[in-house]
Amino acid sequence: MRVRLFYFRILVPKMSTVQEGSEKSKWGWILFDWANSSYSLVISTTIFPTFFISATDPMISIGPGSTSNSSLYAYTISFAYLLVCCLSPVLSGIADYGGHRKFFMRLFTTLGSLCCMGLFFFNGMDTLWICLAFFAGAAVCHAASLVFYDSYLADLVPPSQSDQLSAKGYAFGYIGSVILLITNLMMIQKPEWFGFGPESIAKHIPIRFAFFAVGAWWLGFSQFSFAWLPRDRKVHGSSFSLMHGVNELRKAWRIIRSKKEVFFFLASFLFYSAGVQTVVYLASPFAQKELGFESAELILVILLLQVVAIGGALTFARIARWKNNVLSMKIMLLIWIVICVMAYSVTSKAMFYMVAALVGLVIGGIQSVSRSTFSKLIPHGHEDVTCFFSFYNVVYYVSIVLGSFMFGFVDQITGSMRYSVLSLILFFCLAFVLISQVKKEHLAQ
């Protein structure tokens, strides 16, 4: 790791040469999406979930009871993001108060990368709890780093350009993560090309090395972002305490509560994110257990999803610019309802490929447009912009807890993940009703 970090420090210019809002600072923001999206794709969505299901027992004893491995996986996600819900408001408020946004972004990036590398040591039931600890730690750190990353958007561009920059970040994130995923797929399918012998293959070294590669990719490319993003400004002074962060969050809530359009957007965001993120985290276990997909087949499905998602993010950003953000989001929510119905009734792998293509069409778009819509709704130029994005991220993390817990609970009591997917329709219907209360006149231009 020292060699990699030293290499990037040589190549990247010093922070003092970067001006806020410059093209280089925008590229620094975009490249963080390139760096961290590999975690979302490889660890959250493809290789790790499938390896976890295949490497663990179908039923796992926990104290006097037991649960399925897919339910335990869902509950671990819920637990991790419950921690994030408690942690992120305080940290983002403190960072905004003391001007330490980049410090915390770097800290959680480093810790999260190391947790990904630690997943290399997971190789079955004997290392189950070590695996869950590293997995939860990586999830917490990844989410915490994004609190600070997202808050830079309103600083770098005016509202009229936020859709474009947000979509560009997601697009580059998808491209970077697909490059790493293809490399990992080649390593898993053709391990002899990379020098792995029969003994290494038997111990799943190629698969486990993919987790290490994610950590190295995330940590390495993020060094560009740390060098190119604008320098923090200490708006309140250098000293801070935990209460400063809480007070900043309360300040954001008072403003949000007084602005009904922001309130309704966040309420809608809570429900549709519960559905979207549950699909992201649990699509692979669903396909593996319900349809008998092999790991290599699932990776190809996710590759299809990612390629379509690049175009989807840009397409719905164009719709948002052509008409408005609210219409763009309504269209995507209707598509998500169709996806849930199709996933419940899917019986063949060919049909699942169709569902994956639809998911790809809307998943990048809804994340990108959500981020830019919120940046248009909050008071632009507010000195404590980080605390608004802290609130946004808390709602997002609560949605993951809500969605993944419901998915795991329904799976556990019914014994079928199909009913879990069907239950997500409720989230998207509620979100559609709530987003309808936000009018295009509320959006800053």
Predicted confidence at residue 271, as pLDDT, reads 94
- Tell me if 12 is assigned to some domain: no
- Using left for φ > 0, alpha for ψ between -120 and 50, and beta otherwise, residue 22 falls in beta
Tell whether the model's pLDDT for residue 242 goes beyond 70: no
- Kindly state the average pLDDT of the residues 109-138: 95
Question: How many angstroms separate the CA atoms of 423 and 254, rounded?
Answer: 33
Task: Using the predicted structure, report yes or no on whether residue 93 has a pLDDT greater than 80.
Answer: no
How many structural domains comprise the chain? 1
* Of 217, 134, 145, 103, residue with least CA distance to 389: 145
The most confident of the ranges 114-123, 270-279, 399-408 is: 114-123
**Would you state the pLDDT for residue 10?**
28
* Residue 240 within a domain: no
Residue type for 211, please?
F
> Has residue 14 been placed in a domain?
no
CA distance to 72, 100, 281, 411, per residue, from 408 (Å): 7, 37, 11, 5
Name the least confident of 53-57, 150-154, 214-218.
150-154
Residue 433, token pair as written in the block: 């009703």
Burial letters 35-54, b for 16+ CB under 10 A, else e: bbbbbbbbbbbbbbbbbbbe
Q: Is the pLDDT of residue 13 over 60?
A: no
Rounded to an integer, what distance in angstroms lies between the CA atom of residue 20 and that of residue 156? 7
Within-domain flag for 243 = no
Q: Please give the angle made by the CA atoms of 281, 303 and 296, to the nearest 5 degrees.
A: 85
8 Å CB contact between 262 and 388: no
Q: How many CB atoms lie within 10 A of CB 160?
A: 11
pLDDT above 80 for 218 = yes
CA distances from 213 to 118, 179, 186, 191, 429 (A): 11, 12, 13, 15, 39
Q: Which two tokens stand for residue 114?
A: 């190391």
Amino acid identity at 360: G
Q: Is residue 237 part of a domain?
A: no
Instruction: Kindly report, residue by residue over 349-389, the tens digit of the pLDDT.
Output: 888 888 888 888 888 788 778 877 887 887 766 556 667 77
Q: Contact 210/51 with Cβ under 8 angstroms?
A: no
Left (φ > 0), alpha (ψ -120 to 50) or beta: where does 348 sit?
Answer: beta
CA–CA gap between residue 385 and residue 152 (Å, rounded): 9
Q: How far apart are the first and last CA of the chain?
A: 44
| Gap between the Cα atoms of 212 and 218, Å rounded | 10
SS3 per residue for 125-144: HHHHHHHHHHHHHHHHHHHH
> Which CATH number belongs to the domain containing residue 156 in this structure?
1.20.1250.20
What is the mean predicted confidence (pLDDT) over 43-55?
89
pLDDT band at 444 (very low <50, low <70, confident <90, very high): low
Rounded-to-integer distance, Cα 12 and Cα 35, Å: 15
**Nearest partner of 137 among 117, 164, 167, judged by Cα:** 117
Residue 290 confidence (pLDDT): 82
pLDDT of residue 19: 44
Domain that holds residue 325: 23-58+68-231+248-442
Chain mean pLDDT for the chain: 82
pLDDT band at 239 (very low <50, low <70, confident <90, very high): low
pLDDT digits (tens, 9 = 90+) for 130-150: 999 999 999 999 988 987 887
Residue 46 is predicted with a pLDDT of 83
pLDDT band at 8 (very low <50, low <70, confident <90, very high): very low
For residue 258, what are the contacts with CB-CB under 8 A and spacing of at least 6?
none
Looking at residue 18, its pLDDT comes to 42
User: For residue 97, is pLDDT > 80?
Assistant: no
- CA dist 291 and 272 (Å) reads 25
Examine residue 44 and state whether it is found in any structural domain, yes or no: yes
Cα distances from 171 to residues 269, 302, 312, in angstroms, run: 21, 15, 9
Structure tokens at 173: 């994130």
Q: Which two tokens stand for residue 432?
A: 């559609």
Q: Which two tokens stand for residue 286?
A: 């669903």
Q: Does 210 fall in a domain? A: yes
CB neighbours of 369 closer than 8 A, spacing ≥ 6?
163, 166, 316, 317, 320, 325, 328, 329, 332
The per-residue pLDDT for 395 is: 85
| pLDDT of 7 | 27
- pTM tops 0.75, yes or no: yes
Hey, what are 403's tokens?
């969605």
215, 208 in Cβ contact below 8 A? no
State what percent of residues in the chain have pLDDT above 70: 86
pLDDT band at 167 (very low <50, low <70, confident <90, very high): confident
Window from 92-101, 280-289, 293-302 with minimum mean pLDDT: 92-101
What local confidence, expressed as pLDDT, does residue 383 receive? 58
Q: Which pLDDT score, from 0 to 100, does residue 333 have?
A: 94
Is residue 279 situated within a structural domain?
Answer: yes
The pLDDT confidence band at residue 108, using thresholds 50, 70 and 90, is: very high
Spatial distance between the Cα atoms of 307 and 182, rounded to a whole number of angstroms = 12
Q: Give the DSSP letter string of 292-347.
A: ---HHHHHHHHHHHHHHHHHHHHHHHHHHHHT-HHHHHHHHHHHHHHHHHHHHH--
244-294 pLDDT tens trace: 667 777 777 888 888 888 889 999 999 999 999 888 888 888 888 888 887
φ, ψ dihedrals at 250, nearest 5°: -65, -40
